[in-house]
Amino acid sequence: MGAPKHLLEIDGVSMLERVVRALRDSRAGRITVVLRIGDDPGRVLAEALGVPWALAAEPQRGRAASVRAGVEAAEGGAAGLLFALADQPYLLPSDFDSLIDAFASDPRGIVRATYAGEPGSPVLFARRFFAELLSLEPGQGGRVVAARHSESVRNVPLDPHRGRDLDRPEDLSDRSPTTGSAACSGSRDGYSPPSMERTLAIIKPDAVRASQTGAILEAIEASGLRLIALRMLRLSRREAEGFYTVHRAKPFFDSLVDFMTSGPVVVGCLEGEGAIAAYRELMGATDPAQAAEGTLRKRFATNIEQNACHGSDAPETAAVEIRYFFRDLDLVERD
Ligand code: ATP
Ligand code: MG
């Protein structure tokens, strides 16, 4: 056996850490990492992250033991308990928040994520189910309690691509390209990108500072791509680090984060046929010295880092990046 699955890394960040970070950035309250006995590396990681941990005693009880440890760790006053799995590393803070919002409107129920209509994780249980969760049979998980109380269950559909779990180390290598930001690439589940696509565009601080926002938007519109959302903001360090997390191990990472937080950016969502490739073509090569004549980077970039614009590089990363800045309601329908 290799490393425990939750310690496997995607672009240099372990699955467990990814899930803890997403929970931290959500409205979830206290977080506890439930560990199997002997999972010392897991404990060291939880401590490094500053997150309390609990041991699932009686390992022969399987999932029931983990559920029990989670319930016992819940704060006395907690209205509910959300069970998140370390093997769903692509869920976003907003996914957890969708469940928490649904729960807030009826804090006596059970809220469950569904993917394309199929029930899945995470699941959030109101306090009144805690006793039942503590008395599960060996091997049973929280889903049994949800099934028993189907009248109290509210389903919250989440994006199946973000909710997929990584069951095999091969799944991980499928999704660990060595370069680029395609952290979620891979299509073993048969996903084929629609011809009408959306992509995230960022006008970076150098171009905003140089008053090139209008010219870049003009070029975008002239290319036939439609803007369906637009806003200006200044990224915090944490937001910039999160956005470029696939580059965390690169030597230029700190400098990239310095640059991206050095001033306001303009973020937009673009829509069109093959929008992802179309916008990358309009931007040109990362390094302006290599960029073709007429491209945005040839026209506006200063160097390989201060290169005026960003565009998503694959449908999966586009979906994650768009959600990083926009709620579904922010994306307008264009005629
Ligand atoms: P983006 O993701 O911003 O659209 P990209 O996909 O063309 O750009 P990436 O390889 O994803 O390029 O790099 C992300 C960003 O990191 C680049 O746009 C640039 O700002 C910065 N960067 C990339 N390579 C270097 C480098 N060698 N030195 C300094 N900064 C770099
Ligand atoms: Mg990129």
Is the pLDDT assigned to residue 161 strictly greater than 80? yes
**Separation of CA 183 and ligand 2 centre (Å):** 10
Q: Is 335 among the domain residues?
A: no
Relative to the CA of 306, which ligand 1 atom is closest? 20
Q: Is 158 among the domain residues?
A: yes
Q: Is 110 among the domain residues?
A: yes
- Are both 193 and 72 inside the same structural domain? no
Does residue 324 contact residue 192 with C-beta atoms inside 8 Å?
A: no
- Are both 245 and 143 inside the same structural domain? no
pLDDT tier, 3 (very low <50, low <70, confident <90, very high otherwise): low
Q: Tell me, yes or no, if 310 is annotated catalytic.
A: yes
**Separation of CA 285 and ligand 1 centre (Å):** 9
With pLDDT > 90 as the criterion, what percentage of the chain qualifies?
67
- Are both 131 and 246 inside the same structural domain? no
Q: 10-57: per-residue pLDDT in tens?
A: 888 999 999 999 999 999 989 999 998 888 889 999 999 999 999 988
Relative to the CA of 313, which ligand 1 atom is closest? 6
User: Which residue, judged by its Cα, is nearest atom 22 of ligand 1?
Assistant: 305
- Are both 154 and 287 inside the same structural domain? no
Structural domain ending residue among the three candidates 124, 154, 171: 171
Q: Is 214 among the domain residues?
A: yes
CATH number for the domain harbouring residue 324:
3.30.70.141
DSSP 74-100: S-TT-SEEEE--TT-TT--HHHHHHHH
Q: Is 39 among the domain residues?
A: yes
CATH number for the domain harbouring residue 167:
3.90.550.10
- Are both 263 and 307 inside the same structural domain? yes
CA distance 136 to 144: 8
Structural domain ending residue among the three candidates 127, 152, 171: 171
Is the pLDDT assigned to residue 97 strictly greater than 90? yes
Is the pLDDT assigned to residue 214 strictly greater than 80? yes
Is the pLDDT assigned to residue 2 strictly greater than 70? no
Minimum-distance ligand to the CA of 285?
A: 1
- Are both 18 and 150 inside the same structural domain? yes
Average pLDDT, the chain: 87
CA distance 331 to 325: 11
Q: Is 220 among the domain residues?
A: yes
Q: Which structural domain, as residue segments, surrounds residue 255?
A: 180-330
pLDDT tier, 77 (very low <50, low <70, confident <90, very high otherwise): confident
- Are both 144 and 190 inside the same structural domain? no
Amino acid sitting at position 22:
A
Does residue 297 contact residue 285 with C-beta atoms inside 8 Å?
A: yes
- Identify any residues that bridge with 158 across adjacent strands, giving them in sequence order: 115
- Are both 145 and 188 inside the same structural domain? no
- Are both 94 and 229 inside the same structural domain? no
Structural domain ending residue among the three candidates 116, 145, 171: 171
**Separation of CA 19 and ligand 2 centre (Å):** 22
**Separation of CA 268 and ligand 1 centre (Å):** 18
Which pair of structure tokens corresponds to residue 74? 């819940």
Q: Which of 235, 256, 258, 261, when mutated, tests ligand 1's pocket best, judged by the most ligand atoms within 8 Å of its CB?
A: 256
Q: 245-279: per-residue pLDDT in tens?
A: 999 999 999 999 999 999 999 999 999 988 999 99
User: Which residue, judged by its Cα, is nearest atom 19 of ligand 1?
Assistant: 305
- Are both 22 and 117 inside the same structural domain? yes
Query: What pLDDT, on the 0 to 100 scale, is given for residue 174?
Result: 37
pLDDT tier, 70 (very low <50, low <70, confident <90, very high otherwise): very high
Query: What pLDDT, on the 0 to 100 scale, is given for residue 173?
Result: 41
Ligand 1 neighbours by CB, cut-off 6 Å: 180-181, 247, 252, 256, 286, 304-305, 307, 310-311, 313
Is the pLDDT assigned to residue 194 strictly greater than 80? no
Q: Are strands 110-115 and 153-158 parallel, antiparallel or unpaired?
A: parallel
- Are both 190 and 95 inside the same structural domain? no
- Are both 284 and 161 inside the same structural domain? no
User: Which residue, judged by its Cα, is nearest atom 2 of ligand 1?
Assistant: 310
- Domain tally, the chain: 2
- Identify any residues that bridge with 34 across adjacent strands, giving them in sequence order: 54
pTM of the predicted model, to two decimals?
A: 0.50
Query: Residue 303 carries which DSSP code?
Result: S
